[in-house]
Chain A
Amino acid sequence: MKDNKGLKFNKYKIVNKEQATPDTVIYKIAGDLNFSPGQFVQISLPHFGEATFAPCSDPNNKEFFNLCIRDQGSTSAALTKLQVGEEMIIRGPYGNGWPIGKLIGKDILLLVGGMGIVPIRPLIYELLKYKKEFKKISLLAGFKTPHHLLFNEDFLSWKTKLDYMQVAVEKGDRNWWGECCMITELIKKMKIDPKNTVTMMCGPEIMFQFCNEVLCGTKKIMKNNIYVSMERRMECGVGLCQHCNIGKYYVCKDGPVFRLDKIEKEIGR
């Protein structure tokens, strides 16, 4: 874990802005965040507030990074209105990312729901870079509609680069190239070696519940081979403000990536 003392703010310049979906923008920002996949940053906007985001670009790119921001509240709405050339005030990265070291020699199953693709995208870059180390990399993703699909081009390229990939939407349209079902159906259809598979999940918490039922039930994957990335309100990012606890763990300091068997007992406590 990187040592981030106090609240240190850094300024970065926006060099490009892309409207990915009607309510989501992707910023290209100059600078080196030095983050590992799964870590998060706090972006603050004077007069408005601060919000938590995960960088979504290749972690090995030391010149630029990408931030994907969806209009979900007053701060994030204002953040989507920033223009190229303006500065972004960022602190972090904070937290522990995906446990890449534990994946060597394993089958990797990535499960993504909606905006959950954001912290998974740097992980895919990293996994593809060291592809020989892993046995099989699979990606299953679910979105509401084809309009909500982020990184469309990436998905098309991953189709060939990854060993297995399926994308589903709840409600498709005429041009939709993927499946039309819930993500749990995709898991059921897939062949999984329960002993050698490590699952990484990111998405809404309700998705975890249904996916875990399938993974642990019919697919017989052990809970200590499932990792989830949790979302909580964060104010400080360094384990002081007490907003983001799940039981006795802090999402900002001990997470945001947790092993399911560890965190499951704490949820609801």
Chain B
Amino acid sequence: MIYLINKHQLNNIIEKIQATYSSYGYRREDDKVIFGKVKSPSQTKFFQENGTITFKKILFPNNLDVQADKEDKIVLLGINPCDNNALQIFYKQFQKSNLIIDKKNLFVFVSECKQSKYCFCEYFDGQKIQNYDLYLQKEDDDKFTLFVGSKKGKIIADKIPLKKSTERKPREIKRPNNNFSDNPFSAMGQKEKYKDFWIHISNNCFGCGSCSVVCPLCFCFRQEFGNDLNGDSKTKLCWDSCFNKEFSEIQNRFDLRPKNVDRLYNWYHHKFVRGPHELGVPLCTGCGRCMKACPANLNQKNIMEALEEKKNDER
């Protein structure tokens, strides 16, 4: 179902959602828009640029207590289509584990994307508007179009009398770009062949792991056994990064990826070789957070294009 709604009705819908779900979304805090807990419709911001860290910190927070109870029902308000697509991939990986909230208890309210200069979602179908419960699109004169995409979304929309819209489908955000579609990432799996290329990139990389902290689809973790002052010990899952030196150490501190080039390569290998092999899709939706976060100003999109170019030169 598709409705044309105004600001007041939107607030009403958010109120209805917040009555049943504990809600997370974009809100303003000290001149900055952050993604976190939102309490009221007026606090909730839609049509925002991607926040630094997205749903990862809500569904799979750092220092996750394995034994602790999870929240019953969660709504993610105003996330962008690329993050929603990342969320679907995230669930492909984690759906069988009991570590995150069940998908049927998660409500996604996607809003139209405000593009940033970093994003390159058109390469990975990250711009596709799909798998949402509700989708909000901005129109003229403070009106919005609301698209209902699931049963969960319909239950909420049915609670309020709404006027039907004449729109047929959501506006396209970006046209897909098929630059990588011709046998994608085949060069990515050949470390030895493009050794010089990777060494060149790694010489510029600080190995800080910022890219993997901000990436919605970097979910590596390690277990930590914290000690409390009262003598208890809890098993916690902490975010880890393959750029950490201890990441692939085995017994006697023998490191299987001793150099930064090995670790950097592993990051790309996981995203574009191992991910597609396991889940059928690359672990990237082109949100551009990694570029924004990189203190060495590495441009992940350009790196991929350069490697593709290198492969094409050989023909």
| Chain A residues at the B interface, C-beta cutoff of 8 Å | 5-7, 44-50, 72-73, 76, 231-233, 235-236, 238-243, 245, 247-248, 268-269
In the complex, the answer to whether A248 meets B278 with C-beta atoms within 8 Å is yes
Q: Which partner residue on chain B sits nearest A72 by CB separation? A: B251
| Cβ-defined partner of B98 (8 Å) among A6, A47, A50, A76 | A6
| Chain B residues at the A interface, C-beta cutoff of 8 Å | 66, 93-94, 96-99, 189, 191-192, 219-225, 227, 233, 235, 240, 242, 247-253, 256, 266, 269-270, 273-274, 277-278
* Chain A residues with CB below 8 A from B249, complex form: 233
In the complex, the answer to whether A241 meets B66 with C-beta atoms within 8 Å is no
CA A5 – CA B233 in complex, angstroms?
23
* Chain A residues with CB below 8 A from B247, complex form: 233, 243
* Chain A residues with CB below 8 A from B189, complex form: 248, 269
Q: Which partner residue on chain A sits nearest B226 by CB separation? A: A47
What are 17 A-B pairs with beta-carbon distances under 8 A? A7-B98, A44-B225, A44-B235, A47-B225, A47-B233, A50-B223, A73-B251, A232-B250, A232-B256, A233-B249, A233-B256, A235-B221, A240-B219, A240-B221, A241-B222, A247-B274, A248-B189
In the complex, the answer to whether A248 meets B274 with C-beta atoms within 8 Å is yes
Shortest beta-carbon distance from B187 to chain A in Å: 13
In the complex, the answer to whether B252 meets A243 with C-beta atoms within 8 Å is no
Residues of A contacting B: mostly: loop
CA A44 – CA B223 in complex, angstroms?
10
* Chain A residues with CB below 8 A from B225, complex form: 44-50
Shortest beta-carbon distance from B91 to chain A in Å: 12
In the complex, the answer to whether A49 meets B223 with C-beta atoms within 8 Å is yes
Q: Which partner residue on chain B sits nearest A49 by CB separation? A: B225
* Chain B residues with CB below 8 A from A238, complex form: 96-97
CA A242 – CA B266 in complex, angstroms?
10
Q: Which among A45, A48, A236, A268 has the greatest number of chain B C-beta atoms within 10 A?
A: A236
Shortest beta-carbon distance from A240 to chain B in Å: 6
In the complex, the answer to whether A231 meets B250 with C-beta atoms within 8 Å is yes
In the complex, the answer to whether A268 meets B235 with C-beta atoms within 8 Å is no
In the complex, the answer to whether B221 meets A236 with C-beta atoms within 8 Å is yes
| Cβ-defined partner of A241 (8 Å) among B191, B221, B251, B269 | B221
In the complex, the answer to whether A269 meets B269 with C-beta atoms within 8 Å is yes
* Chain B residues with CB below 8 A from A49, complex form: 223-225
CA A76 – CA B223 in complex, angstroms?
16
Given contacts A242-B219, A243-B247, 12 further A-B contacts (CB under 8 A): A5-B98, A6-B97, A46-B233, A49-B224, A233-B249, A233-B256, A240-B93, A240-B94, A242-B242, A248-B189, A248-B274, A268-B192
* Chain A residues with CB below 8 A from B192, complex form: 268
In the complex, the answer to whether B278 meets A6 with C-beta atoms within 8 Å is no
In the complex, the answer to whether B248 meets A233 with C-beta atoms within 8 Å is yes
In the complex, the answer to whether B252 meets A73 with C-beta atoms within 8 Å is yes
CA A45 – CA B273 in complex, angstroms?
35
Shortest beta-carbon distance from A266 to chain B in Å: 9
* Chain B residues with CB below 8 A from A47, complex form: 225, 227, 233
In the complex, the answer to whether B252 meets A235 with C-beta atoms within 8 Å is no
Nearest 6 CB-CB pairs, A to B? A6-B98, A46-B233, A242-B220, A72-B251, A248-B277, A47-B233
Given that A47-B227, A242-B242 are known contacts, is A235 also in contact with B219, CB under 8 Å in the complex?
no
In the complex, the answer to whether B99 meets A245 with C-beta atoms within 8 Å is no
Shortest beta-carbon distance from B69 to chain A in Å: 14
In the complex, the answer to whether A232 meets B222 with C-beta atoms within 8 Å is no
Q: Which partner residue on chain A sits nearest B93 by CB separation? A: A240
| Cβ-defined partner of A243 (8 Å) among B219, B248, B273, B278 | B248
